[in-house]
Chains A and B, each alone.
Chain A
Amino acid sequence: MQPEEEPMPDGQPVARHPDWKTADNLVNLLRHNAENHGDGIAMRERERGIWQEYTWRDYLDRVLCFAAGLEELGVGAEDNILVLGDNRPTLYFGMLGAIVLRAVPSPAYPDTTPEEITGQMQREDIRFALAEDQEQVDKLLAIREDGHETLERIIYDDPRGLTGKEPPGVVAFTDLVERGRQRLDEQPDLSQDLLSRATIHDIAVLLHSSGTTGAPKGVPLKHGHILSGVRNAAAAGYFREGEIHMAYLPMAWVGDFIFSVGAALVLRFSVNIPERQETALHDLREIAPTLYFSSPRAWSNMLTRIQVGIDEATGLKRWLYHRFMPFAVELERRRLEGRQPGTGERFWRALGEILVYGPIKDQLGLARVQRPYTAGEAIGEDVFLFFRALGLNLRQFYGQTENCALAAAQDPDSIKLHTVGKPFPGVEIRISEDGEILMRADNVFDGYYRKPEATAETLRDGWLHTGDAGYMEDDGQIVVLGRVSEVVYTASGERFIPTYVENRLKFSQYIKDVCILGQDRDFLAALVAIDISAVGHWAEENGVPYTSFADLSQKTPVYELIRGVMDHVNAVLPEGLRIRRFVNLHKEFDPDDGEVTRTRKLRRNVIDANYRPIIDAIYEGRDSVDYEAQITYETGESGVLRRHLAVADVAPSGEK
């Protein structure tokens, strides 16, 4: 691999990546798949209960027709196209169609607010948008009426509520495909021309860093970045050819583009798309993928679901579960420590596979999963061990949008709980003097979209400054502690990373979200959002009556329950970093209130501002607080809600 030189001025991309070959790009891979595996299933989408299949030939056909139609609308190279909606084959075809024209798809989360979309459209000069359905079209129309007149065309997929009465500038995907097909029929050379336009140095997709601080930054990823990322990962045995993959995570998230488009084209995945987000779990079982990615939170939710399901089950089933599951977890724990199970244990494990582990995997739709992954934040030890004990080779990987999310992953043979594994082949990682993880590889991007200062800050001498604090162990495995920017100090000068403590608290099924306070304060305190399904179930089991989330959160037994969790975590924290007080909030943190990002990362400044009276009450030593909650309804109106919240103390450990 060539080390990167100082960023070259645009227009000389070859100098930057001399070993990238122009014809090696996503479009050519699609053509290759369509020519050599034309009848292979490229995509499946569940529609009204049955799965509609698209072969690679259909895929290429739709992409080309759409590209031809799009060109007629006036889309050309380096135009940005907003892609807005849940995963749909049409949106994937549309993104590829744009890529064919060297235009750049810029996906947004489907629940993004109009203001955020307006911001994105202004920053990126967006004139064209590809929207999933009437809801998204309406959102875009409202934005256009509010002054963003440069939005020329809105292309929609789902005809429901739109066909036949399209507002001006709104056109159906299918119509565009038909027009494109006509053009292709009239100009026989057009399809060859279209297929030969894209190069490896083109930007394939414009993603956005999640923006825990300030406005999101555009992250342009080129074909070459994506391809080298996928190939590095494949070389490490991370993907195989012909995986069955479930595309249910938001299209605006880097992982979905890498898995469902990048890796899918390179390694001929069949990409399966659930009918709706709500049916994703059910559809997962119908497909039974071989490759499954899920966030630590989703894995933990799945564990909660299993535990609740077992609690409800009848005697024999519950007995078998409690007989076999702890055994498997213990066995897995010892296996990770390097001790192999004996013959008797193997037999017992095999029996459990028939009676408990196999059926559970089958019920969840994970029966065929060979490569289950998680990333994004730390995963709880209980959760990690549980799924590994079920016989799923769950592994963590590490990466950011800036490096195609593919930087390091746990090796199947040397899994340690606290590390994220070794770098993929072709990825160089080192730790800077101040403890930041630095990275250099062909899958590291070439700079933020129109943000030279931010780029200069992040890419220095060809090294990507990830902003993560961490260290490398002797065997080359990387440990990620948290964000460098998140390191804070208490009034007494104790150094800590709030996320680190928060993650440990969130490993409890009863806590959905928690925000640790303590910067420049005397002690640490916590704002807790309970998990309504787990605590609700616990309340039912223990005869605690409640009416709503707010009511349940303020029950004394619930405070006792959460205090138990705090005690448990305090036991492993150093003396100065123990949590002394906490408040159960009357609601969950909500992205609509700006308290968390769409990927559920805390926005501390917003939380500090929103809950100022509560925080003051905690540190003033009061026992309760009257809090006026500002709430924003989905219509955009806001109101005020008064809540009386209790503040609880946690006994310093050892004094229980």
Chain B
Amino acid sequence: MFYRLSGVHHTRYETARRIWPVPADRRMVYLVLALAVAAPLYMSDLYLTSYMLPWLIWSAAALSLTLLMGIAGQLHFGFAAVMAIGAYTSIHLTRAGVPLELALIGAGLVAAGIGCIFGAAALRVKGLYLVMATLAMQYLVDWTIINVPAISGGAQATLSTPSVTFLFVPLRGDTALYYGALLWAVIVTMLVLNIKRTSFGRALVAIRDKDFAAAVIGVNPFKYKLLAFFTSSFLGGVSGAVLAFCYYQAVTPEQFGFNVSIQLVAMVLVGGLGSVIGAYLGAGFVLLMPIVLTNVVAYMAIAGWLSVSSNLLAHIPLMVYGGLIVGFILFEPLGLAKIYDNVRKYFLVWPFRHTQS
């Protein structure tokens, strides 16, 4: 119905391989981007800073993780630690007077370096054993941050971010912070979309599907597994730094605990492994659904439709949330992205069931 494809023809392979070859998809992307750019105009500060901003940054983080878990197929249960490394590195660098632009790159590089060391385990082990290795990373990094005062500033300390400028714009005020997060989300999105259609992305997919089969067809698993960890950790580190500067503006070790890692994995799984739109949907679901549910339950309690003890009231959203995750995974194991894809295909072949030519 919305997808009109007649008259779309290509005279060069470059245009046939572009990121959104369907005009309707392109129009939708422009619309979403325009809505995102104009968000400060029509959204209240509360929604902008408490919902939109964290959603964008966590989406960027989920995209970094989906590159590793979804595209390259390497499980990682310590991604919050990678982000923590990025966050702490950037703060220490800016405090030492390094401009934020360089500090972000530094954050990425340090996170990528440390991430690669643990990722090297992936060269030997797979599946659950890799999960164990990355979990070890989570705990080692947590422990190091907490117990080395030079990093954390002390066991209970909170490091606040210094006031900085980014590309000559002071990162102060809700709008500036929001645009900073949006910029990063757009960069990561375009990067992952492009990785998926390059030889690098295809090599990663080959590794994911079967690493020794990939080796047989000439894809070096050693190189590409490390590259996957490097790229993903780099993006994750910068995402951590952006999270620290644009959202938290002060970091403590608890912000990057094991539960955060699990949340990130949940975002990627609920959204759909390896999918870009899935990262956004997954992050949105994991971050915003508890808030929405809490509000709904509170509203129902106030309206008198729910007469239960306040103790239980606090737990109902969590129960529903858990139920929803189980439900979604049962309904569509391939995640929210697959649901979106099904809907899209339903309209793509409208009014038929499959393409007619």
Identify the A interface with B (CB < 8 A).
Answer: 44, 46, 49-53, 281-282, 284-288, 305-306, 309-310, 312-314, 317, 320-321, 354-356, 358-368
Contacts of B351 in A (CB 8 A): 310, 313, 317, 320-321, 355-356, 359-360, 363
B350 x A49 contact (CB < 8 A):
no
Given known pairs A305-B356, A309-B353, A317-B352, the reply for A366 and B6 (CB within 8 Å) is: yes
Task: Please count the residue pairs between chain A and chain B whose beta carbons lie under 8 angstroms apart in the complex.
Answer: 83
Contacts of A51 in B (CB 8 A): 9-11
B357 x A282 contact (CB < 8 A):
yes
A362 x B356 contact (CB < 8 A):
no
**B1 contacts which of A310, A354, A361, A366 (Cβ < 8 Å)?**
A354
How far does the alpha carbon of A305 sit from the alpha carbon of B349 in the complex, in Å? 14
Given known pairs A309-B352, A310-B352, A359-B1, the reply for A52 and B11 (CB within 8 Å) is: yes
17 other contacts beyond A49-B13, A281-B356, A365-B6, with CB at 8 A cut-off? A46-B9, A49-B16, A52-B11, A282-B357, A285-B357, A288-B7, A306-B356, A310-B351, A312-B352, A356-B351, A360-B351, A362-B4, A363-B351, A363-B355, A363-B356, A365-B357, A368-B7
Those of B169-188 within 8 Å (CB) of chain A: none
Contacts of B11 in A (CB 8 A): 44, 50-53
Contacts of A368 in B (CB 8 A): 6-7
A367 x B1 contact (CB < 8 A):
no
**B16 contacts which of A50, A313, A360, A365 (Cβ < 8 Å)?**
A50
Given known pairs A49-B16, A309-B356, A314-B353, the reply for A286 and B9 (CB within 8 Å) is: yes
Whether B124 sits at the interface, judged by CB under 8 Å, is: no
Nearest opposing residue in chain B for A354, CB measure = B1
Question: Smallest CB–CB gap between B91 and chain A, Å?
Answer: 51
Q: List 13 A-B contacts (CB under 8 A).
A: A44-B9, A281-B356, A282-B357, A286-B9, A310-B352, A312-B354, A313-B352, A317-B351, A356-B351, A359-B1, A359-B351, A363-B356, A365-B357
A362 x B357 contact (CB < 8 A):
no
How far does the alpha carbon of A578 sit from the alpha carbon of B8 in the complex, in Å? 50
Whether B18 sits at the interface, judged by CB under 8 Å, is: no
Contacts of A320 in B (CB 8 A): 351
How far does the alpha carbon of A285 sit from the alpha carbon of B6 in the complex, in Å? 5
Whether B43 sits at the interface, judged by CB under 8 Å, is: no
1/0 contact trace for B318-357 toward A, CB 8 Å? 0000000000000000000000000000000111111111
A367 x B6 contact (CB < 8 A):
yes
Contacts of A285 in B (CB 8 A): 5-6, 357
Contacts of B6 in A (CB 8 A): 285-286, 288, 361-368
Nearest opposing residue in chain A for B13, CB measure = A50
Question: Smallest CB–CB gap between B30 and chain A, Å?
Answer: 21
Interface of B is mostly: loop
How far does the alpha carbon of A288 sit from the alpha carbon of B8 in the complex, in Å? 8
Nearest opposing residue in chain A for B356, CB measure = A363
Given known pairs A281-B357, A354-B1, A359-B1, the reply for A287 and B7 (CB within 8 Å) is: yes
Nearest opposing residue in chain A for B2, CB measure = A359
Nearest opposing residue in chain B for A302, CB measure = B356
Whether B223 sits at the interface, judged by CB under 8 Å, is: no
Nearest opposing residue in chain B for A49, CB measure = B16
Nearest opposing residue in chain B for A272, CB measure = B9
Q: 3 closest A-B pairs (Cβ-Cβ)? A: A288-B7, A286-B9, A288-B6
**B12 contacts which of A46, A50, A287, A363 (Cβ < 8 Å)?**
A50
B357 x A312 contact (CB < 8 A):
no
Question: Smallest CB–CB gap between B129 and chain A, Å?
Answer: 43
A367 x B4 contact (CB < 8 A):
yes
Contacts of B7 in A (CB 8 A): 286-288, 367-368
Contacts of B349 in A (CB 8 A): 363
Question: Smallest CB–CB gap between B345 and chain A, Å?
Answer: 12
Contacts of A282 in B (CB 8 A): 357
Nearest opposing residue in chain B for A312, CB measure = B353
Question: Smallest CB–CB gap between A504 and chain B, Å?
Answer: 28
Contacts of A49 in B (CB 8 A): 10, 13, 16
Question: Smallest CB–CB gap between A275 and chain B, Å?
Answer: 11
Question: Smallest CB–CB gap between A533 and chain B, Å?
Answer: 13
How far does the alpha carbon of A606 sit from the alpha carbon of B144 in the complex, in Å? 94
Contacts of B353 in A (CB 8 A): 309, 312-314, 317
Nearest opposing residue in chain B for A317, CB measure = B351
How far does the alpha carbon of A218 sit from the alpha carbon of B49 in the complex, in Å? 81
Nearest opposing residue in chain A for B351, CB measure = A317
A284 x B356 contact (CB < 8 A):
no
How far does the alpha carbon of A259 sit from the alpha carbon of B129 in the complex, in Å? 68
How far does the alpha carbon of A313 sit from the alpha carbon of B353 in the complex, in Å? 5
Contacts of A281 in B (CB 8 A): 356-357
Contacts of A44 in B (CB 8 A): 9, 11
Contacts of B357 in A (CB 8 A): 281-282, 284-285, 363-365
How far does the alpha carbon of A287 sit from the alpha carbon of B8 in the complex, in Å? 7
Question: Smallest CB–CB gap between A25 and chain B, Å?
Answer: 31
Question: Smallest CB–CB gap between B163 and chain A, Å?
Answer: 53
Contacts of B9 in A (CB 8 A): 44, 46, 51, 286-287
Question: Smallest CB–CB gap between A42 and chain B, Å?
Answer: 14
Contacts of A284 in B (CB 8 A): 357
Taking each of B10, B351, B355, B357, which has the highest tally of chain A beta carbons within 10 Å of its own beta carbon?
A: B351
